[in-house]
Structure 1
Amino acid sequence: MHDQTIAFTTPPDAPRWMRWLLFSPLARIAIFVLLFMALSFATGALMHALGWLGKDAPATIHGLAQLLMRALPALLAYLLLVRLVERRPIIELAPRRLLPDGAVGAAAGLLLFSAVVGVLYLLGSYHVTGTNPDAPWVPALLMVGLGAGIGEEIICRGVLFRIVEEGLGSWWALLVSALFFGAAHVGNPGATLWSSAAIAIEAGLLFGMIYHLTRSLPLCMGLHAAWNFAQGTIYGIPVSGTPADGWLVSTRSGPDWLSGGVFGAEASVVALGLCSLCTLALLVIALRRGSIVPCRPWQLLLQRFSHR
């Protein structure tokens, strides 16, 4: 049952050197990182050459450049890893699942963050002071929505969670991918140790469990993109510390542990609590299904690297 949840297994006739240098979890993560770095450099150079990142570039063009820089290297590196190294169908990014799963994820992300704002409003922390119908929503959708949703989910769930789960099981995969996700936001404006820990717990664990149960990257991408878009463009709250220009002009009051402070609502105990409840519900489902991959590193090492 557990093996059915793992997207890749080492070919039984692979020689030992290929098991170590090509098919092992660490090798595949390293291969992805190298591909990602090379493609990121190439994409950035192309955007600068086209002038899409210049000060005079229109906001939409700049947003498109940011989308390409955030999503394209991760997507291409992942496709190359899966097709050339793992040599398997890309089930988690199957074309037929892109739109329906992405739409379901987007609806869930919008609903979840709206619930966070609703609770903050009822607690007297979130206040609407005006509206801004001219807020530049297209660049925001491209950059912090689709760009972050696609790129970060491929890295954290498609690569880290999936491959660590193969090698060390589901618990370690949740821990490693969530810690990396939180640490990736530590350099954001207004970030603190608390905000990074909150993101690791509320989003890192939640997205990990969603991917574990559905094996769908578009679902995670849609939820991630809609969460960011709702937070910044709809409700006017900073997105992971980045100031937002939203349709609703808003302020938040109260202590930082409640409002999230300058980092945004993601650093609020409200977001932490609601997302943690969702994560616990998904964990219960996974335990009942028996889909949790146990930690068995030594068995896998013997299986991967012994002669057949």
Structure 2
Amino acid sequence: MIMPQQSSKNSGLWQQATLLPIALVAIEILVINGGMILDMTTSGTSDATRVLLMDSPHWFLLTGLVLGASEILAYRFLVKRFAKRPVTELGATGCIKETALGILVGSVLVSLPMLILWARGFWRFNSFAINSGILKGIGIGLIACVFEELLMRGVFLRLLEQKWGAPGALVVTSLVFGAIHLSNPGVTWLGALTIGVEAGFLLGTAYLWKRRLWFPIGLHFGWNAMQAAFWGGNVSGTGKQSGLLDGTLHGPTWLTGGSVGIEGSLLTAVIGLLAAGVIWKLTPREAPEMAPHEAKTPTDEVPDTGETPAITASEPGRQTRRD
């Protein structure tokens, strides 16, 4: 027989596992395809102008900002509504510091393989230019980081950890994270595996470190934005960007990443996995905080000592139970 409390807990987990992803995907579709609404309401605008607007760096940046803000608000609302708990993973205290630290760590980590390949002659510098592609690169970083972290770490990793523990949840979500990138044009099976190993484990441990999302969101943003806006690279097989630097990768695919970009490189996978190992060592081994309706009340468990509570007399004609 399922006890009412257990049924309530399972219901809350099921609602989070279904409603949160649906809401986040719906927001992505609505905002990214907002150009269709723009198209219908600007009949006097030429097709060329519409295409230019949709592909402009400013549009990418605005889309990223709107997506990030709306998804965070939706996540907070749905967690409070259905999980009935404080949204500690998106708490305001320390959010700027944690996000900034994540941006710094992500930028450094993704630059390490580029610097190594440059030093070894596998990346050739072509030119340097301040251009609008930098804004587009920042927008690309924003579009992916909030959605993917809320979905993969905020929903799936957190819920699976309650069922299987942190190691099992980390392995599963990392493999899934790599697999979903197969939808990108240039991603191969090997590329998906390296993305899962380097980024999946890295971002997963970044969440588990404090069980908050600001650090992995910042790390994810720094990782993508540095690739696109600074190095002008190919982010997750989506195509080469126009960044601050322009260069060419050449060499074996296992080293340069081929059509996937630097994320498909085994060198990047090793660096990401080592960084994930360091964060894992810093992560406290403690159970995740439960929602109020999932937590046990003092009356849920009565310790069985094997003894019968003693009866003492405190007043004539009255007995008091001493526990």
Please say whether Structure 1 and Structure 2 have the same fold, judged by a TM-score greater than 0.5.
Answer: yes
SS in structure 2 opposite 1:95?
Answer: coil
**Superposed, which structure 2 residues align to 1:117-196 within 5 Å?**
117-142=114-139, 144-196=140-192
**Residue type at the aligned position of 2:8:** M
Following TM superposition, by how much is the alpha carbon of 1:146 offset from its aligned partner in structure 2, in angstroms? 1.5
CA pair 184-74 structure 1, distance change in 2 beyond 3 A: farther
Which runs of 5 or more structure 2 residues have no equivalent in the other structure?
43-48, 289-293, 302-323
Question: For the structure 1 residues 252 and 87, does the alpha-carbon distance in structure 2 shift closer, same or farther, using more than 3 Å as the test?
Answer: same
**Match status 1:28 vs 2:13:** no
Residue 276 in structure 1 maps to residue 273 in structure 2: yes
Give me the whole-angstrom Cα distance separating, in 2, the residues matched to 1:292 and 1:127. Answer: 48
CA contact (8 A) 1:74 1:155 kept: no
Which of the residues 196, 205, 212 maps onto 2:208?
212
* Counterpart-to-counterpart distance in 1, 2:25 and 2:133: 30
Superposed CA deviations along residues 98-154 of structure 1, whole A, max 9, x for unmatched, are 211111111111111221211112222111111122242122212x21121111111
Q: What is the aligned residue count?
A: 280
User: What residue identity is the alignment partner of 1:207?
Assistant: L
SS in 2 for 1:246: coil
Question: Would the aligned equivalents of 1:43 and 1:73 in 2 still touch at CA under 8 Å?
Answer: no
Q: Which residue of 2 aligns with 1:19?
A: 9
**Which residue pairs with 1:92 in the alignment?**
89
What residue number does 1:296 align with?
Answer: none
Q: Which runs of 5+ in 1 are unaligned?
A: 1-12, 294-300
The alignment-based identity, stated in percent, is 27
| Mapped partners of 1:194, 1:70: distance in 2 | 30
Partners of 1:237 and 1:278 in 2: CA distance: 21
Report how far residue 75 of structure 1 moved: 2.5
How many angstroms does 1:175 deviate by? Answer: 1.5
Q: How far does residue 85 in structure 1 lie from its aligned partner after superposition?
A: 1.0
Q: Does 1:82 align with 2:79?
A: yes
CA contact (8 A) 2:113 2:267 kept: yes
Partner of 2:291: none
Name which of 29, 37, 43 aligns with 1:49. 37
Which whole-Å CA distance do the structure 2 matches of 1:199 and 1:290 have between them?
A: 26
In structure 2, what is the equivalent of residue 6 of structure 1? none
Partner secondary structure for residue 126 of structure 2: strand
Write the distance in 2 (CA, Å) between the matches of 1:125 and 1:199.
20
Structure with bigger RCO (C-alpha 8 Å, 6+ apart):
1
Summarize deviations over 1:161-204 as a string: whole Å, max 9, x none.
11111122112210221122111210112110000000000000
Aligned to 1:230: 226
Q: Give the structure with the higher percent helix.
A: 1
Aligned residues of 1:48 and 1:54 also touching (Cα < 8 A) = no
Structure 1 range deviating more: 274-283 or 73-82: 73-82
Please give the alpha-carbon distance, in whole angstroms, between the structure 1 residues aligned to 2:235 and 2:130: 19
**2 CA distance for matches of 1:41 and 1:149?**
16
Aligned amino acid, residue 233 of structure 1: A
Instruction: Give the whole-Å Cα distance in 2 for the aligned partners of 1:108 and 1:175.
Output: 22
| Mapped partners of 2:28, 2:249: distance in 1 | 36
Q: Secondary structure at the match of 2:202?
A: helix
Query: Runs of 4+ in structure 1 displaced over 4 angstroms?
Result: 13-17, 44-47
Partners of 1:118 and 1:45 in 2: how far apart?
37
Q: Give, as a single letter, the amino acid of the residue that structure 2 aligns with 1:240.
A: S
SS in 2 for 1:273: helix
Higher Rg of the two aligned structures: 2
**CA distance in 1 between partners of 2:186 and 2:67 (Å):** 21
Please, what is the CA RMSD of the aligned residues?
2.7
**Displacement, 1:221?**
0.9
Q: Is the 8 A contact 1:102 1:221 kept in 2?
A: yes
Aligned partner letter, 1:113? V
- The CA distance in 2 between the partners of 1:266 and 1:109, in whole Å, is 13
1:90 and 1:254 mapped to 2: Cα distance? Answer: 46
Residues in 1 aligned to 2:33 and 2:269: alpha-carbon distance in whole angstroms: 38
> Distance in 2 between the 1:44 and 1:135 partners?
20
Q: Which amino acid aligns with 1:93?
A: L
Q: Is the 8 A contact 1:135 1:247 kept in 2?
A: no
The residue type equivalent to 2:118 in the other structure is Y
User: Helix, strand or coil: the match of 1:250?
Assistant: strand
